Structure 1
Amino acid sequence: MKNSYKVAVIGAGVVGCSVAYHLAKLGINDVVVFDKSYISSGSTGRCAGGIRQQWSSPHNVLLAMRSVKLFEKLESETGMDVEYKQGGYLILSYSEEEAEQFEKNVEMQRELGLDVEILSVKKVKERYPYIDLSGVVLATFCQTDGHANPHLVNFAYAKSARKLGVEIFTHTEVWGIEVKDYEFVLHTTKGKVTAQIVVNAAGPHSREIASMVGVDLPTESYRHQIMVTEPVKNFFDPMAISFSGNFYMRQTKHGQFIMGQGDPNEKPGLNYNVTFEFVEEMCKKMTRIFPFLRNVRIVRHWSGHYNMSPDAQPIIGESTTVKNFYYAVGFSGHGFMLAPAVGEAIAELIAYGKTLHVDLSELNLDRFEKTVVRERNVV
């Protein structure tokens, strides 16, 4: 480990490694990444791997659309098969009010250039006869949505960043940061280093890292549980999801079904325990909606964290009070799918002082001083 770097990234999840990779692509390879555990150990490695462009917020739509462009060329660019598949996202509505909101969302999404459909219950039944559509009002579908293996995406960025000169130190915790006149002093469990620029990509620990430099990030982390079944023959292409139904499910390349739901009673804080109640609720719900799961066995059950922002949209940009302190946090459960575009955008901000592909101006911390609109499309 050197004594000084141009950029220090805190967090070796998919966002942090994407930032490092895109910086190196732009010629800034004097970069170090620190993680208190191992690569993909946090929220990235615990997520379902969905990649969705259907949002109620235009900013999320545009970020996701740019991410899809980057996901489409990730294998050719990094040389790694990340199990990326554009099997689409099927979003089911179980209420008239939500259905009306979906229609407004689709109108906005189409205006932004997204090819998305509104499907009647009859049309959904024709395409997916093995889903029980009791109570469904309508659905939306976008074929270019999809999923990938989050571990492989994370390692693709990490491996490629290292090839370009980036240093990544795992099992290295940043426990303190001093702000000097023109640099930061990072105190780590492997020694002290200085950096001209710091990027906070610490996921569930984002608020703690920001507080070290006197920045108050309004993020809180909530446990979300998830489970996976034994493998069966592949036949289920899309990610099926419902916000009012509170579930998501997809089939992996190797045949397993990954599924999860949110808990409205979950309290903020870091909690990696799992509960039998979650398994019981999921089994009842998912075997009713997807009857083909009734004889499929569960093989694993784990938890991760949504690092939530007040409006369920990410907080991305440079601090207005601490120069050269950047953050890409508060993804509210969707950091994996937005990571390619976010890493590119943060790298552009650092290299050029502006973004070239997506506008982040409405996603910085100062937006909370104004009236904000909450992202509705969150499980």
Structure 2
Amino acid sequence: MKDRVEVAIIGGGISGVALAYELSKRGVEVAVFEKNFLGSGSTGRCGGGIRQQFSTEENIRLAMESVKIFERMKEELGWDIEYYQGGYLILAHTEEEVKQFEKNVRLQRSLGLDVQWLERDEINDIVPELDVEGIGAIAATYCPTDGHAYPPKAVWAYADKARELGAHIYEFTEVKGIIVENGRASGVITERGETRSRFVVNAAGAWSPIVAEMAGVKLPNKPYRHEIMITEPLSHFLDPMVISFHDNVYFRQTMRGGIIGGWGDPEEKPGFNFASSLKFITTMARLLRKYIPALKPVRVLRQWAGLYDVTPDAKPILGPVKEVEGFLQMNGYSGHGFMVAPMCAVLLAQYITGEPLSIPLEPFSVERFEKEVRGEVSVVG
């Protein structure tokens, strides 16, 4: 194991390996420390959705720039990550939602996003099988450049290319402590020894508050279980991800034909809970039958759970903290990490190397929580 690098990254999910790649291609020596295997946390357990339809400028810009990266990822990294731009169909069920969606669309279009407004009788033009009347949808928005990919392949693609460029990636190597000297993070302590560095990046997802405490830093993130399931493979019929904030549900069809989707339990308490529940699978089965009645006879193959790393405003925490110099945050994605991590990695790499920032980091600073913040409302939670 290397005893000295420029940047030590804690966490081997999409964020950690994407940052390792972005730094390595800039000539920066990095080491990634993952306590399990790459993608074993939230990345490998997520639904793989990639959307740009958010309610805040910060999340929209991160997502739009990340989509540009996803679009060239196959050529740049040399991997087919099963990226497919089938769109996102987001359903409105109430007049209050309609007003919010209209506001969202105005903001999204002002930032250059191609998003369509659909009246009730136009929704089936996108998904003919959807029971619009039965689910009580009265309008929807649709962005054709939203889509999905296969998260494990995205992790492997970034990691392989980073290694090729000289990155050191240590799986099954848990960080036990952060070295802080004279107010600066200067390395990590692992079960295999110490690695000194000029920067330490906390990309530990739901475990990021625990990692931050190693350096004496408090983060407001909290872990919440979110459950997910997949059905047997079906002939292809569904292009977009279908999502409802009203019903807290989302689902799409994978490249292999299965319907993958999740439901957010509004009564879920924070904690490191990976158990699968009967409540989830019965609720999810009922919702799928309600949304697309033709799915009634389809069999569920399996269900599992992952963790959302949730901040008070559902926006990520990126960049430095005032307590410890050189200790950078890359966490708090609130269920949207896979879709925005590519651009977040670019921004952190730009910050570390002193390049001009493509997007300012101030709106993502943890210090924003010292005052009132405006939260992202377009979330399944």
- Residues 68 and 262 (structure 1 numbering): CA distance in 2 closer, same or farther, change over 3 Å? same
Partner residue of 1:7? 7
Shift in Å, 1:322: 1.0
Partner of 2:166: 165
**Residue identity matched to 1:14:** I
Pick the aligned partner of 1:281 from 263, 283, 286. Answer: 283
1:126, distance to aligned residue in structure 2 (A): 2.9
8 A contact 1:93–1:245 mirrored in 2: no
Unmatched runs of 5 consecutive residues or more in structure 2 = none
Q: Give, as a single letter, the amino acid of the residue that structure 2 aligns with 1:177.
A: I
Using the TM superposition, give the Cα deviation of residue 276 of structure 1 relative to its aligned residue in structure 2, in angstroms.
Answer: 1.0
Q: State the shift of 1:353 in Å.
A: 5.6
Scaled by the length of structure 1, the TM-score of the pair is 0.98
Match of 2:227 in 1: 225
Q: How many angstroms apart in 1 are the aligned matches of 2:258 and 2:237?
A: 11
Q: Deviations over 1:320-340 (max 9, x none)?
A: 221111011110000000010
Equivalent residue number for residue 70 of structure 1? 69
CA–CA distance in 2 between the matches of 1:230 and 1:291?
16
Residue in 2 that maps onto 1:235: 237
Deviation at 1:186, TM superposition (A): 1.5
Q: Which amino acid is 2:153 matched to? A: L
Which runs of 5 or more residues in structure 1 are unaligned? none
Output aligned runs, 1:317-332, within 5 Å.
317-332=319-334
**What is the CA–CA distance in structure 2 between the aligned matches of 1:291 and 1:270, rounded to whole Å?**
34
Q: Name the SS for the 2:60 alignment partner.
A: helix
**Mean Cα displacement is larger for which, 177-186 or 167-176?**
177-186
What is the one-letter code of the residue matched to 1:78? L
Relative to structure 1, the CA distance from residue 183 to residue 270 in structure 2 (aligned partners, 3 Å threshold; closer, same or farther) is closer
1:141 corresponds to: 142
Q: Is the 8 A contact 1:66 1:358 kept in 2?
A: no
Q: What is the RMSD of the two structures over their aligned residues, measured on CA atoms?
A: 1.0
User: Does the CA contact (< 8 Å) of 1:183 and 1:194 recur in 2?
Assistant: no
Identity of aligned residues (%): 47
Aligned counterpart, 2:354: 352
For the residues of structure 1 that align with 2:157 and 2:355, how far apart are their CA atoms? 26
Task: From the superposition, tell whether residues 183 and 331 of structure 1 become closer, same or farther in structure 2 (CA, over 3 Å).
Answer: closer
Amino acid paired to 1:237:
D
In the TM superposition, residue 25 of structure 1 has moved relative to its aligned partner by 1.4
Q: Which digits, 9 at most, give the CA deviation of each residue in 1:310-354, with x for residues without a partner? A: 111111111122111101111000000001000111000000164
Counterparts of 1:19 and 1:375 in 2: how far apart (Å)? 24
Give the Cα–Cα distance (whole angstroms) in 1 for the partners of residues 165 and 179 of structure 2. Answer: 28
SS of structure 2 residue aligned to 1:33: strand
User: Normalized against structure 2, the TM-score is what?
Assistant: 0.97
Q: State the shift of 1:26 in Å.
A: 1.4
1:361-376 → structure 2 map (5 Å cutoff): 361-376=362-377
SS at match of 1:73: helix
Q: How does 1:192-211 map to 2 (within 5 A)?
A: 192-211=194-213
Decide whether the 8 Å contact of 1:10 with 1:198 is kept in 2: yes
Partners in 2 of 1:127 and 1:73 — Cα distance? 26
How far is 1:369 from its partner? 1.6
Q: Tell me, in whole angstroms, the C-alpha distance in 1 between the residues paired with 2:258 and 2:47.
A: 11
Counterpart of 1:120 in structure 2 is 119
**CA contact 2:24–2:165 (8 Å) conserved in 1:** yes
The 2-side partners of 1:205 and 1:127 are apart by 39
Q: Distance in 2 between matches of 1:2 and 1:128?
A: 52
Are 1:109 and 2:105 matched, yes or no? no
CA deviation map 1:264-289 (0-9, x unaligned): 11111101111111101111111011
Task: Report the Cα offset of residue 176 of structure 1.
Answer: 1.0
Q: CA deviation at 1:191?
A: 1.2
Q: Give 1:312's aligned amino acid.
A: A
Is the CA contact (8 Å cut-off) linking 2:185 and 2:327 kept in structure 1? no
Aligned-partner residue type, residue 327 of structure 2 = F
2:230–2:260 CA contact under 8 A, matched in 1? yes
